[in-house]
Amino acid sequence: MMRRIYFAYALIAAVAVLALSAGCGTDAEGPVTRPFHESGWYSPHAGDTERYVDMLRSVSMIEIPYGIGHSSILKLGEIKGVRYTNLLMQFSYDSLVNYEGMTVDSVVLDLPVVTVQDTLFHLGVTFNELLEDFSEDDTITLPPMYDPDPIQGALGETIRDISFERTEFSIDRTIVQEWVDGTADPWTHGISINWAYIPDSLGLIEMYAQDYGTNPPVLRVLFDGGTEVILPVVSDYAITEDRITALAAAGGTARRLYFEFDLDGVPELATLNYSALVFHTDGSSGLGATYSEMLIGAPTDFQYDLYAPKASDPDSIDILISRSLLPVTIDAKIKIPLGQYTIEVLNGTRVNTGLVLKSTLETTRVQILAIYDAAAGDSLRPYIEVIYTMPTDFQGER
């Protein structure tokens, strides 16, 4: 009896299977039970995510003839390999017309020194009359021509010693007396303050510029009877000389870092997830702001632009990739994301002309971003980092 029941159930199950197969196995709208591949069922595997590093073909410096025109602080001396060799000054003489016939008692050039890097540092300089004009809008890297004979002081001195404690210097009163009498023209183009010699130790003397807004350099003219007239500086300029030995981008001198690379190691079918320019800063060689600049609230981080240059001119910007701030006085690993730029290079819509990093303060003040190069070892070398994913792998066939 039990065998008949089991047989009946088995017969019913077999009929049901046959009915199902007949009902949908040949129906185009029915569910598919055939394997996706003849060799087995559909079993895709996600593509691999890879990290590609290009150690850069080269990192070089582009030097551009820029000087520091408009600035709130004037400097003489040297810091971090930037030497401030000359200060150019033009004065306003308009007020002298009111003192014709009066006798000049004394004249003083007052330099508003704010700080000295080392309070013991001093610098011997000469004052020389300029023979050529200058403008704060210029980008001057060498001083204009000046009279080689220094302007004398009240006692005939020609070399003056600037220090933290000595900031006022006499000028031969007969020079200004001739201006008042109309027998000689004032210093038409102004004066140049120049190093008289290279000191045994180097430091930095900082003073307010006329752009600061208050307390500019002035000529103080004292007449008999006690009347004093101020002849203010109306234009001034600091000439810099680049003596930086580090691999660096710098404002004020000016230097830009040029990174050349290729991405040949990234497969053609790769999907880009992330890319960045990576380098390590050398804090010991960096300069964010001098002490006087910090006193007046100047930012201490390096203000930069990262751009792709035009193929024929690495000085010119084709596309701006990033603009931001970077620390420069500490050792740090820096990553600057490259975003769409790398995608366009990889898909062929943009020619790879390299990358250039520049200071946005090239004509305003000196900042130095120093980085480690290949000599520091592979762990500190600059590189391009690319994170990409390969397409899905269908059982070994892409």
Predicted pLDDT at 5: 37
pLDDT in tens, 82-97: 999 999 999 999 999 8
Higher-pLDDT residue of 388 and 1 is 388
Higher-pLDDT residue of 56 and 106 is 106
CA 282 to chain CA centroid, nearest Å: 14
pLDDT band at 398 (very low <50, low <70, confident <90, very high): very low
> Is the Cβ–Cβ distance between 74 and 207 less than 8 Å?
yes
Mean pLDDT on 244-257:
89
Mean pLDDT on 242-247:
91
CA dist 163 and 192 (Å) reads 18
Model confidence at 47: pLDDT above 50: yes
Any idea which fold 49-55+246-389 has? Jelly Rolls (2.60.120)
Average pLDDT of the chain, as a whole number:
86
C-alpha dist (Å) from residue 327 to 216, 284, 297, 370: 31, 12, 16, 10
State the DSSP string of 221-252.
EEETTS-EEEEEEEEEEEEEEE---SSEEEET
Identify the DSSP state of 94. Answer: G
Q: Shortest CA distance to 193 belongs to which of 260, 126, 117? A: 126
**Quick count: other Cβ atoms within 10 Å of Cβ 271?**
13
Mean pLDDT on 180-203:
94
Model confidence at 21: pLDDT above 60: no
State the DSSP string of 245-285.
-SSEEEETTTEEEEEE---TTS-TT-EEEEEEEEEEB-GGG
Q: Shortest CA distance to 239 belongs to which of 288, 202, 193? A: 193
Dihedral pair phi/psi, residue 98, rounded to 5°: -85, 0
pLDDT in tens, 339-377: 999 999 999 999 999 999 999 988 788 999 999 987 777
**Which residue bears the tokens 């000028």?**
171
Dihedral pair phi/psi, residue 209, rounded to 5°: -95, 165
Higher-pLDDT residue of 307 and 252 is 307
pLDDT band at 393 (very low <50, low <70, confident <90, very high): low
In the chain, % of residues over pLDDT 70? 87
Predicted pLDDT at 268: 86
Predicted pLDDT at 52: 87
Predicted pLDDT at 117: 82
Predicted pLDDT at 10: 40
Q: Which residues of 347-385 are buried (b: 16+ CB within 10 A; e: fewer)?
A: eeebebbbbbbbbebbbbbbbbbbbbbeeeeeebbbbbb
Model confidence at 11: pLDDT above 90: no
Higher-pLDDT residue of 65 and 259 is 259
Q: First and final CA of the chain: distance in angstroms? A: 60
C-alpha dist (Å) from residue 276 to 5, 54, 60, 281, 391: 75, 11, 19, 15, 22
Model confidence at 59: pLDDT above 70: yes
